[in-house]
A and B are shown apart, each in its own frame.
Chain A
Amino acid sequence: EVQLLESGGGLVQPGGSLRLSCAASGFTVSSTYVAWVRQAPGKGLEWVSLIYTGGNTRDADSVRGRFTISRDNSKNTVYLQMHSLRAEDTAVYYCARGHTTGTWSFEYWGQGSLVTVSS
């Protein structure tokens, strides 16, 4: 059974850093693309970052240069390192696994991890 478990969220001050983890089970993270998607309180979904099977990454304009997606194959975990955090980065962060045959579509989702940026 495919499962994704996010962790690492919490309260951080503006300008601070935080690293989210997405521990995967039921598949290997290097076998498909994995993404982070966030949702600010009461708002819609916003795509953040994606890592391909080959290790290449893509980032949304809103986070490029501040956030970095990576993975550790030995731990079967995908990370989102976040720097220079702003109030507008406050959101529930979901990790999501790509569909087996679909392109840029996400079939499995974690339960989310809340990041709050506030002083």
Chain B
Amino acid sequence: DAGITQSPRHKVTETGTPVTLRCHQTENHRYMYWYRQDPGHGLRLIHYSYGVKDTDKGEVSDGYSVSRSKTEDFLLTLESATSSQTSVYFCAIKQGADTEAFFGQGTRLTVV
């Protein structure tokens, strides 16, 4: 199995609080991605990274920020959580353009 770990696996937080989700990899893959999965919408890209300190927005980036200060960690921050951000969040890693992505086990976030 690809060495990719998401933490926490489950979190309940209150509206308006900041939340940070962590994705950690041991594969030294260059590319890392954050997705959210909601019924009827599939996997939607939030942000992705193509190297240390190199990140770009995905299709649903509003309300989220990311940071990648070292190859192995990609952090997703909800600056002020809202109920619409209740979702399952998946992190993925990818070695190169022509390779498949490997996914973490997901983080279930509930904003109350």
Q: Do A and B come from one complex?
A: no
Interfacial residues, chain B to chain A (CB-CB below 8 A): none
Interfacial residues, chain A to chain B (CB-CB below 8 A): none
